[in-house]
């Protein structure tokens, strides 16, 4: 199943500070529920699955139980069901200095790539796959490329990239590359050259 980025109609500029706000009802999440995360040891965890609206709460639970967490190993992470939640938790991970690693058989795509590029250190083994595409809300709904370059609907993503260390130009170049690389129902697997060009890995 391919997971598409959901399109939240946003016609105003979302400042990066709003990414720190959490409007989810996290009280419904049990304190021992780690969702798609699994601890390996006190400093390392695995991540395997789709990012959802509950992932921020699951990550909070992980950090509460393992306060010395430093690295997350991403396994099969096909994307996000909730982009707002994904950008929020990804920014929090960045601010905490979380590192990400991809094994040779790791596969990440869509929103999981947004999370990965927020890592303070981002390593990958040859053979790992990184997939990007346009976001879209569903059949018959607008997709990212329906809006012109510079439209406010693009800004939450571009602002996120700049907030995790990309320059403005790097953020815009990478974002517009992703939405033009493949339609929402498909995926483009980045070449090694593209991974280098867009500074996806950070040692």
2 occurs within a structural domain: no
Per-position pLDDT tens, the chain of length 203: 334 444 333 322 233 333 434 444 555 899 999 999 999 999 999 999 999 999 999 999 999 999 999 999 999 999 999 999 999 999 999 999 999 999 999 999 999 999 999 999 999 999 999 999 999 867 778 899 999 999 999 999 999 999 999 999 999 999 999 999 999 999 999 999 999 999 999 99
Q: Mark out the alpha helices in 41-134 (DSSP H runs).
A: 55-65, 83-96, 111-116
142 occurs within a structural domain: yes
Structural domain that includes position 146: 16-20+30-197
Residue-wise pLDDT for 40-59, tens only, equals 999 999 999 999 999 999 99
Q: From CA 9, how far away is CA 146, in angstroms rounded?
A: 12
66 occurs within a structural domain: yes
1 occurs within a structural domain: no
């Amino acid at each position: 199943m391919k997971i598409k980025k959901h399109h939240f109609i946003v016609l105003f500029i979302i400042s990066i500070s709003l990414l720190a706000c959490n409007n989810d009802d996290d009280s419904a999440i049990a304190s021992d529920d780690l969702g798609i995360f699994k601890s390996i040891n006190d400093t390392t965890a695995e991540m395997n699955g789709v990012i959802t609206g509950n992932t921020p709460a699951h990550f909070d639970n992980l950090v509460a139980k393992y306060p010395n967490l430093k690295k997350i190993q991403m396994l099969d992470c096909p994307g996000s069901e909730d982009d707002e939640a994904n950008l929020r938790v990804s920014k929090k991970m960045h601010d905490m200095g979380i590192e990400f690693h991809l094994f040779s058989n790791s596969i990440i795509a869509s929103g999981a790539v947004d999370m990965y590029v927020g890592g303070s250190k981002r390593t990958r083994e040859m053979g790992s796959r990184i997939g990007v595409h346009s976001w879209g809300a569903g059949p018959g709904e607008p997709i990212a490329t329906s809006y012109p370059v510079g439209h406010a609907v693009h800004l939450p993503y571009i602002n996120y990239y700049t907030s995790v260390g990309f320059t403005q130009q790097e953020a815009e170049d990478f974002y517009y590359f992703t939405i033009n690389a493949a339609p929402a129902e498909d995926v483009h697997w980045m070449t090694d050259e593209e991974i280098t060009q867009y500074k996806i890995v950070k040692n």
